[in-house]
Amino acid sequence: MGLLQCPNAFLVFWLIPLVQAYTVFETNCSAPATLSNYVSSPNTRGTLDILWSSLFTIFACTWTLQHPNVPAQRDDSRSGQSKHVKWMSAQWRSAQWSTAKWGLKSLYKSTLRMLCTILAPELIMTTAWFDWVAAHNNCRDMQRFAENDGVAWTLTHSYFANMGGFVIRGKPTKEQKHHDPYHLNGDLIYQLRDAEHIEKLPTITEEEIKDKSKGDIFVKLIALGQIIWSTIQIIARAVRRLPVSPLEVAVVAFAISAVFIYGLYWNKPQRVGVTQTIQLKNNNMQNERAKLERVTVDEGPLLQGRATLAESAISMEEGAITEEGAMVNEGLILEDGRIPTKVYDLLKNGSEKVLKVLFEGLLSLLGIEIETETLPGAPISLDSAREAGAWETAGVVGVGAAVFGGIHVVAWNFAFPSTVELILWRCASIYTAAAPLCPMLLDYIYNELGFHICIGEGFIGAFYLFSASFYVIARLFILVEMFRTLCFLPPGSYISTWTTNMPHLA
């Protein structure tokens, strides 16, 4: 009777390696028999030592480096409206539940970003790279207005602007459908200032922006210290020719990606939750001043005091105070609360997004058209608005994947539970390193060398879909296998090095 006719025998055959993983070795280190001034760390390490130190480093590489854009603002318009005591308890419970939901939503999004970084760190590296390029370009362009306006504009300002940190407020209508508040980016602020829809750049200092940031330099240094420690201890093991687990190789790959992203995001505010409102120039202010002058002349000096108060009110209106408490001198929006038509037309024509260009191009080759338009002025997603071509985007993604996937090739001759898993690891490592670059080569052959006559778009789209699907499968296999191999490490893997005496978290 064959294995196919005996499902139980088939399962037992494949589960034998898993059964062997439950063999336990109890470590027994002797304690000093007499009083000692210093006791060195044990010269061995356990499975959990490897696991916890690796998990904490991966956590440091994927959680602490997150620099999300400014989220949607909370609607607290109903808070404090109740005047009856019997409603106050219900209002308080509603406010507490709203705060809890907001916190859970933020935690959920952070967890998704962490999982995205674990599954595809090259995508996060790509967005970080284009964020850095966009911020530097915007900072350079803004210096023209900053000097004229007497306002400081730094790289931190450009990052904050591209995060959607600056908003304008206007009443949406049937003709003007947009998010309220309307989130701007650095390019839109530049265009508003260039068209003189705002009189000057936002008057907020770099220190005020950093005060909004939830980032802590001490936490970043701890995370970087853990990343450096993990890298050093793996190098020390390699120098002593001690076995290194595939999990530790993956940690090095995450560490290199994290250091690269940390460097790009060093000047970007982290986890900012509140926007800064800037206001458009009020074209009606001159008419109000003319009315005030006529009142003063016609009614004589008796109303001089009232006119002075009215003029003060207009001056305060010109220099309105935002909800964050910063003085701005851009005046108010139109009297009916709408955004002027010229301003709205300028704002809604934003730039394309990096990853959006890449994925829409892939879907279009498959003949799939999707509606990806979002409401103008909505909070800026992780894929921030910026100019980028498909080739440039694919190139950065390809380089990031080649670096991250190529590091896993280091485990070419490591000990694996079976020869099949060793071969699969080799194939998955090579594929994840080379796969993102293959579509670029095919696109070059298709468009530049004139092979589009014999190769149809349907074939190109099917190839891209096939490559992307196998890329996800290969990455998932590496993630599962690097933890599974912890149960099948050779004895030399449990010998520790001098790096155990260095400060670290495990």
pLDDT at 2: 45
pLDDT at 142: 96
Residue 28, amino acid = N
Q: Which tens digits make up the pLDDT trace of 483-504?
A: 999 999 999 999 988 888 887 7
Measure the CA–CA gap between 417 and 419, rounded to whole angstroms.
7
Give 103 or 129, the one with higher predicted confidence. Answer: 129
The residue-averaged pLDDT of 386-390 equals 56
Helices 457-484 and 85-119 meet at what angle, rounded to 10?
A: 100
Separation of CA 11 from chain center = 43
Residue 332 has pLDDT above 50, yes or no: no
Measure the CA–CA gap between 300 and 57, rounded to whole angstroms.
76
Confidence of residue 139 (pLDDT cuts 50, 70, 90): very high
Residue 224 has pLDDT above 60, yes or no: yes
Of 275, 495, 480, 254, the residue nearest 380 (C-alpha): 275
Q: Which tens digits make up the pLDDT trace of 172-208?
A: 888 888 888 899 999 999 999 998 889 899 999 999 9
**Which residue(s) pair with 495 in the sheet?**
44
Domain range annotation of the chain: 47-74+94-280+377-501
Give 5 or 263, the one with higher predicted confidence. Answer: 263
C-alpha separations of 2 from 15, 17, 194 in Å: 17, 21, 79
The residue-averaged pLDDT of 447-473 equals 68
Residue 471 has pLDDT above 70, yes or no: yes
Helices 354-365 and 390-407 meet at what angle, rounded to 10?
A: 100
Contact (Cβ atoms closer than 8 angstroms) between residue 390 and residue 358: yes
Give 321 or 95, the one with higher predicted confidence. Answer: 95
Residue 323 has pLDDT above 60, yes or no: no
Angle CA 12–15–20, to nearest 5:
120
Q: Beta-carbon neighbour count of residue 25 at 10 Å?
A: 9
Token reading at 437 = 């670059």
The string of DSSP codes covering 304-369 is HHHHHHHHHHHHHHHTPBPTT--B--S----TTSPPPHHHHHHHHS---BHHHHHHHHHHHHTT--
Spatial strand order in the sheet of 276-277: 182-183, 166-168, 276-277
Report helix, strand or coil for 69: coil
CB burial readout 352-386, b (16+ within 10 A) else e: ebbbebbebbbeebeeeeeeeeeebbebbebbbbb
Confidence of residue 452 (pLDDT cuts 50, 70, 90): low
Report helix, strand or coil for 292: helix
Q: Which tens digits make up the pLDDT trace of 238-253?
A: 889 999 999 999 999 9
Report helix, strand or coil for 18: helix
Report helix, strand or coil for 4: helix
Q: Which tens digits make up the pLDDT trace of 163-172?
A: 999 999 888 8
Contact (Cβ atoms closer than 8 angstroms) between residue 483 and residue 247: yes
Residue 14 has pLDDT above 50, yes or no: no
When the pLDDT of each residue in the chain is averaged and rounded to a whole number, the result is 76
pLDDT at 96: 74
pLDDT at 458: 61
pTM of the model: 0.76
Q: What percent of the chain has pLDDT over 70?
A: 69
pLDDT at 137: 92
Residue 306 has pLDDT above 50, yes or no: no
- Residue with token string 């390809």: 398
In the 8-state DSSP scheme, what is residue 32? P
Residue 404 has pLDDT above 60, yes or no: yes
Angle CA 161–163–168, to nearest 5:
55
Give 38 or 290, the one with higher predicted confidence. Answer: 38
Residue 457 has pLDDT above 50, yes or no: yes
